[in-house]
Amino acid sequence: AQTVTQSQPEMSVQEAETVTLSCTYDTSESDYYLFWYKQPPSRQMILVIRQEAYKQQNATENRFSVNFQKAAKSFSLKISDSQLGDAAMYFCAFSGSEKLVFGKGTKLTVNP
């Protein structure tokens, strides 16, 4: 079974600074997708960024980028120029041939 591990229960960053959230996963599959979702206190889960495992190029979406290391099974999220609105729970998720599996999340606090 696939597992997703987020080793940082909480992180904090100063506004305008950069922060990296860690995620590792375990799978025997070679073809899969990885996602980062953001869940603000309002609870609506929002997709931040997506990475296909067959793509070597790291995905980017404006201020959000990933560092995908397939051999190491690592998928970290970098948030540049952090904004107050980035404060939320961030979930790393894996999707292979079966269901979408989430990590336990990292709570990000942005300090003004």
Which of 68, 77, 105, 108 is the binder for another protein (CB under 8 A)?
A: 105
Half-sphere exposure of 49 (CA within 13 A, CB side): 19
Q: Is 54 in the site for another protein (CB under 8 A)?
A: no
Nearest residue (CB) to another protein, 35 versus 75: 35
Beta-carbon contacts of residue 61 (< 8 Å; ≥ 6 apart): 48, 49
Burial class (CB in 10 A: 0-12, 13-18, 19+), 2: middle
Say how many residues touch another protein, by CB under 8 A: 21
Check residue 45 for interaction with another protein (CB under 8 A).
Answer: yes
| Cα–Cα dist 59/50, whole Å | 7
**40 near another protein (CB under 8 A):** no
> Residue 4 or 79: which CB sits closer to another protein?
4
Using CB under 8 A, list all residues that contact another protein: 4, 33, 35, 37, 42-47, 50, 91, 93, 95, 98-100, 102-105
